[in-house]
Amino acid sequence: MTIQQLEYILAVDKCRHFGHAAEACFVTQPTLSAQVSKLEKELGVILFDRSKMPVIPTEIGERIIAQAKKVVSESKGIFELVSQMKGDVSGLIKMGVIPTIAPYLLPLFIQNFIQKYPRVQLQVQEMVTEDILKKLKNDELDIGLVVTPLEESGIVEKPIFYEKFFVYLSKYHPLLKQDQVEAGAILSEDLWVLQQGHCFRDQVLNLCDQNKFQRMNFHYESGSLEGLKNMVNRYKGITLLPELATESLSEEEKSRLRPFRGEAPVREVSLILTRSFLKQKLVSLLFEEIRNVIPKHMLSKKEGKLVSFKL
């Protein structure tokens, strides 16, 4: 049994197709198939049901694949340990970032990070929290940048900053007459929210009392905060924006922002990783680089109330 063979069965499990798995591993299909068959013969079990399309693991195959993920991950850790001992700042980091953070935070630190550490390859994918967690556990991502707390088994959370929620109003909206907005005042049919699957949507509905949330006669749910902001700008209504998303607003747009009255709702943004993750040096460098570009008042939760997104 070799690490290479284990990587091949992981590829087949992920792609559910021998040909696609071979392409992902940069080998020919006969080579990959032969090595998988050799491993099956050595173990004395069949790992995949080849009669199905897509190919699926057998019951014993699923258990062996789960163990193979751990073995392959730990084997990569040997190289990470050697790299850390040498003080070498290099390697690949695969990071997932939720859509309500990515466009506002990434431009602030990415350029400085890659200039400081040219031997580090940073691959970023934008996706919702549920997919980030799934890919972390499947070793398809190294770290995630999400809203916490998650209280997810096997996941380590490293809080970075806290950002307040602001109410963003359309031109001539009656609430513009107020300096601060009561949460109860936005329980109306003109509230724009994100699509299902976005934690920010859940936070907004919890904050605004989802039981009283009403649909407007024209209903639209966007996959981005920019989409919601544009609807407020060009149509009417209200949406909520996290603090970093307000930094790039024009002066006229900022004049239509209102804080909440009383204790401000805030969300906690953290780096998350699995407990077995070994690229600690790279995580620490990334963590510090992000903190360096965040306004100091956002680095600790001195005021405000964390808003839940668990419905």
Query: Which 3-state string (H, E, C) describes 215-240?
Result: CCCCCCEECCHHHHHHHHHHCCCEEE
Q: Provide mean pLDDT across the span 154-166.
A: 92
Q: At residue 98, what are phi and psi to the nearest 5 degrees? A: -75, 150
Q: Is residue 307 part of a domain?
A: no
Same domain? For 149 and 284 the reply is yes
Pair (201, 280) in one structural domain: no
Residues in Cβ contact with 192 at an 8 Å cutoff, skipping those fewer than 6 apart: 220, 221, 222, 228, 231, 232, 237, 238, 239
pLDDT digits (tens, 9 = 90+) for 183-235: 777 755 678 777 666 777 777 766 665 555 555 555 556 678 888 888 888 88
**Sorting pLDDT into bands at 50, 70 and 90, what band is 301?**
confident
Residue 33: predicted pLDDT: 94
Cα–Cα separations (whole angstroms), residue 188 to 44, 169, 197, 219, 261: 64, 13, 22, 13, 17
Q: Which of 150, 123, 115, 117 is nearest to 134 (CA)?
A: 150
Residue 308 lies in a domain: no
Over 60: is that where the pLDDT of 38 sits? yes
Q: Distance between CA 175 and CA 236 in Å, rounded?
A: 12
Q: The dihedral of CA 168, 170, 174, 176: what is its sign?
A: positive
Tell me if 97 is assigned to some domain. Answer: yes
Residues 212, 177 within the same domain:
yes
**Range with the lowest mean pLDDT among 7-11, 130-134, 190-194?**
190-194
The residue ranges of DSSP E strands in the chain, in sequence order, are: 48-49, 56-57, 91-97, 120-126, 143-148, 155-169, 193-194, 221-222, 238-242, 257-258, 265-274, 305-306
pLDDT over 70, % of the chain = 85
Asked whether the predicted pLDDT for residue 31 surpasses 90, the reply is yes
Which has the minimum average pLDDT: 149-158, 202-211, 223-232, 268-277?
Answer: 202-211
Whether 285 is in a domain gets the answer yes
252 and 233 co-located in one domain: yes
The CATH number for 193's domain is 3.40.190.10
The pLDDT of residue 310 is 53
Q: 311: pLDDT confidence band, cut at 50, 70 and 90? A: very low
- Report which of residues 24 and 212 the model is more confident about: 24
Residues 102, 80 share a domain: no
Reported confidence tier of residue 274, pLDDT bands at 50, 70, 90:
confident
Domain match, 19 and 110 both: no
Q: Residue 237 — pLDDT band, cuts 50, 70, 90?
A: confident
Contact 135, 96 (CB under 8 A): yes
Highest mean pLDDT pick, 38-42, 148-152, 197-201? 38-42
As a whole number of angstroms, the distance between CA 238 and CA 161 comes to: 25
User: Do 121 and 188 have their domain in common?
Assistant: no
Structure tokens at 304: 């405000």
The last residue of one of the domains, among 69, 84, 99, is: 84
pLDDT grade, residue 281 (50/70/90)? confident
Query: Among residues 84, 102, 121, which one ends one of the domains?
Result: 84
Looking at residue 53, which CATH number applies to its domain? Answer: 1.10.10.10
Looking at the structure, do residues 277 and 130 belong to the same domain, yes or no? yes
The single-letter DSSP state of residue 252 is H
Backbone phi and psi for residue 272, each to the nearest 5 degrees, phi listed first: -125, 150
Ramachandran area for residue 153 (φ above 0: left; ψ -120 to 50: alpha; else beta): beta
pLDDT over threshold 50, residue 81: yes
Task: Quote the pLDDT of residue 57.
Answer: 93
Size of the chain, expressed as the number of residues it contains: 311
Structure tokens at 37: 């068959």
Q: Domain for residue 251, yes or no? A: yes
Q: What angle do CA 305, 292, 168 make, to 5 degrees?
A: 45
Spatial distance between the Cα atoms of 97 and 202, rounded to a whole number of angstroms: 17
Distance CA 282, CA 94 (A): 11
**Choice between 222 and 58, residue whose per-residue pLDDT is larger:** 58
Same domain, 7 and 133: no
Q: Is residue 309 part of a domain?
A: no
Q: Of 62, 84, 106, which closes a domain?
A: 84
Q: In the prediction, which pLDDT does 234 show? A: 85
Domain count for the chain, please give it. Answer: 3
Residue 153 and residue 177 in one domain: no
From CA 127, how far away is CA 277, in angstroms rounded?
Answer: 20
pLDDT recorded at residue 218: 54
- Same domain? 36 vs 71: yes
| Residue 177 placed within a domain | yes
Mean pLDDT of 129-133: 93
The residue-averaged pLDDT of 52-81 equals 84
Do 97 and 45 lie in a common domain? no
Sign of CA dihedral 67, 69, 72, 76: negative
- Residue ranges making up the domain that contains 139: 88-160+271-298
Yes or no: say if 97 and 144 are a contact pair by the CB < 8 Å rule.
Answer: yes
**pLDDT > 80? residue 48:** yes
Which pLDDT score, from 0 to 100, does residue 277 have? 65
Whether residue 303 lies inside any domain: the answer is no
